[in-house]
Amino acid sequence: MTRLTLFLPCAGGVEDFLADEVHGLTGLMGEDLLTVRGGVRVRGDWALALRLNLHSRLAQRVLVELAHAPYADEHDLYRLAAGVSWEDWFTPHQSFRVDITAQGSPLRSLNFATLRVKDAVADRFRERAGGVRPSIDTQRPDVRVSAHLSASHATLYIDTSGEPLFKRGWRQDKGDAPLKETLAAAMLAASGWWQPAERRVASVPLYDPCCGSGTIVIEAAQLALGLPPGGQRHFAFERLKPFDAQQWNAIKNEAIGALFTGAEGQNGLKSAVQIFGSDVAHRMVDFAQRNAERAGVAHAVQLRGGDALQRMPPTAQPGVLLMNPPYGERIAAAGVAGQGGRGREAFQSGTLARQRTGTTHAASASAHAAAEVNAGDEFFTRLAAHWKSHYAGWTAWLLTPDLKLPGRLRLKESRRVPLWNGPIECRLFRFDLTARRADFKPDQPLGQD
């Protein structure tokens, strides 16, 4: 197949890491690899699209650009879509859906724009295939067409990924606030533990003390072992016309072969790096363990139960703490700070007050929220004290939407990296942990392992 322009969308803040990753995977640079807002644009062939689906941890999808032109209204969109050779990509016996995203578009209704693109694709098939046209299936389409509208230009794509790439296939057990796998990988890149341009991971231990369903540690372990993120799932390209099963098997076999011959795979499927996770909720640790087994990394991660405020460093060698700590009501801090601490008392006294006076729902909600804030403050104050006592020499990276987190920890961050968790603007804060002052006395003895 001829040269293609591919667009790989990613979460906001991840563009440069994704460009590094694509460069590391392909060697592309310059005009063949452009970083743009919201993703990277890559020039390459069909095989490259398959390889990027299999190997990219940071891209949300791999899209093939099929048309790009100025537009003013829905008629222009119809004409643009009607001019694309959709018949080169799929048959009228397959189903499809159209998705449109827009930024600064003058169009009033994106629904109507979507309808016009759908009509153009269907009409083109009907004219060329004796009246047969592909059906629409919004739930499980064979083919996804997407369009992006800027203020002046429309771009049409065919999607080679299908389900978004953060769905790796191994996470079937998850808690209330799981991190997307792509964002966990972005945290690993932003912390420098994973260097995507060099295809290397650092040789220091990694520890997530609030690991939940294990997303960060499992992504890290797959990287350390050289396992491709897409090795356990299917892709939309398998249903597109250019798909050649032999070519795809060769690409997958090449990835498996690299496991045993490449830099990361010199020890077969053993990792030289130590990766640890723990969570106060034993149910979460079970989830993480099962996910790690499905991801093929159970032998490369050590998962345990325990309160982050009490767990001692898992190795003598200082390493990297990487986590998205509990935040907000849905995932309030548990353990010693959440249950026995002042936060809980504040919540209980709020509850009692409500019972006595019959305060309104709004008052009760605000008492609850205040209690959560207190519990959160308690958790972070104690976490910082625990780290200062026991984690000197470690580097901690915390992802949070709470811009006041350094104040709550009473630590000064040495870096802050903006990252978007879907629509939520977050920061990945870095703290360099040093020993605490000798005169500091903890409120109560901290548990040891």
Ligand X SMILES: C[S@@+](CC[C@H](N)C(=O)[O-])C[C@H]1O[C@@H](n2cnc3c(N)ncnc32)[C@H](O)[C@@H]1O
Does residue 373 belong to the site contacting ligand X (CB under 6 A)?
A: no
Residue 179 or 223: which CB sits closer to ligand X? 179
Cβ density class 172-197: b for 16+ within 10 Å, e for less: ebbbeebbbbbbbbbbbbbbebbbbe
CB of 162 to ligand X, least distance (A): 23
CB of 401 to ligand X, least distance (A): 11
Residue 9 or 326: which CB sits closer to ligand X? 326
- Residues 117-176 touching ligand X, rule: CB under 6 A, are 175
The answer to whether the CB of 377 falls within 8 A of the CB of 434 is no
DSSP string, 1-33: ---EEEEEE--TT-HHHHHHHHHHHH---GGGE
> What is the number of other CB atoms lying within 10 angstroms of the CB of residue 153?
13
DSSP, res 313: P
The Cα angle at residue 311 between residues 209 and 374, in degrees rounded to 5? 70
| Pattern 278-317, ligand X, x by CB under 6 A | -xxx--x----------------------xxx--------
Amino acid at 388: K
**Alpha helices, H only, 83-180:** 110-128
Tell me the site size for ligand X, rule CB under 6 A. 24
- Residues 175-194 touching ligand X, rule: CB under 6 A, are 175, 177-179
- Residues 329-358 touching ligand X, rule: CB under 6 A, are 331, 333-335, 338
CB of 129 to ligand X, least distance (A): 46
Q: Binder to ligand X among 9, 13, 319, 326 (CB under 6 A)?
A: 326
For the range 179-182, what are the long-range contacts, defined as Cβ-Cβ under 8 Å and sequence gap of 24 or more?
179/212, 179/215, 179/216, 179/324, 179/399, 179/421, 180/11, 180/215, 180/421, 180/422, 181/57, 181/215, 181/219, 181/229, 182/10, 182/11, 182/14, 182/57, 182/58, 182/59, 182/60
Q: Binder to ligand X among 324, 374, 400, 421 (CB under 6 A)?
A: 324
Residue 155 or 222: which CB sits closer to ligand X? 222
CB of 60 to ligand X, least distance (A): 17
CB of 386 to ligand X, least distance (A): 10
Residue 178 or 265: which CB sits closer to ligand X? 178
Residue with tokens 């903890």: 442
Residue 114 or 421: which CB sits closer to ligand X? 421
Nearest to 342 by CA among 386, 379, 307: 379
- Residues 208-227 touching ligand X, rule: CB under 6 A, are 209-210, 212-213, 215-216
- What is the C-alpha to C-alpha distance for residues 205 and 22, in angstroms, rounded to an integer? 25
Residues 6+ apart with CB under 8 A from 53: 62, 160, 161, 165, 230, 235, 237
Residue 146 or 215: which CB sits closer to ligand X? 215
CB of 408 to ligand X, least distance (A): 14
Residue 192 or 401: which CB sits closer to ligand X? 401
Query: Residue with the closest Cβ to ligand X?
Result: 212
Residues in contact with ligand X by CB under 6 A are 175, 177-179, 209-210, 212-213, 215-216, 279-281, 284, 307-309, 324, 326, 331, 333-335, 338
